Amino acid sequence: MKRMRLHLALGTVTVALGIAGCQDTGSKPAAAAGPAKTYPLDVCIVSGEKLGSMGDPIVLVHEGQEVKFCCKSCKPDFEKEPAKFLSKLAAKK
């Protein structure tokens, strides 16, 4: 009987803690710095291929800058060395 009460008590505490963990604490996620900067090129930042030549472009926002790729296989190359490819945008401005 004591064992059953202990399990019941532990179960009640576990449920209470679970519910408390799901409550809104009023904290808000960090606000975005604003809309992403528009991608100025009509070609893929990685391959240089015309956007749309391989289907719909893949769009990514990296540190507030919109970036577009001609295909999904260019995205991992960009993610390895973003500064290398973002320099193309700096040259465009």
Distances (CA, A) of 80 to 26, 39, 85: 37, 19, 10
The confidence band for 54, taking pLDDT boundaries of 50, 70 and 90, is: very high
Specify the higher pLDDT residue, 56 or 11.
Answer: 56
Q: What is the CATH number of domain 36-93?
A: 2.30.170
User: How many angstroms separate the CA atoms of 85 and 45, rounded?
Assistant: 6
Domain boundaries, given as residue ranges, for the chain: 36-93
Amino acid at 3: R
Token pair 């990685």 in the structure block, residue: 46
| pLDDT for the residue 77 | 97
| pLDDT for the residue 11 | 52
Radius of gyration, CA atoms only, the chain:
25
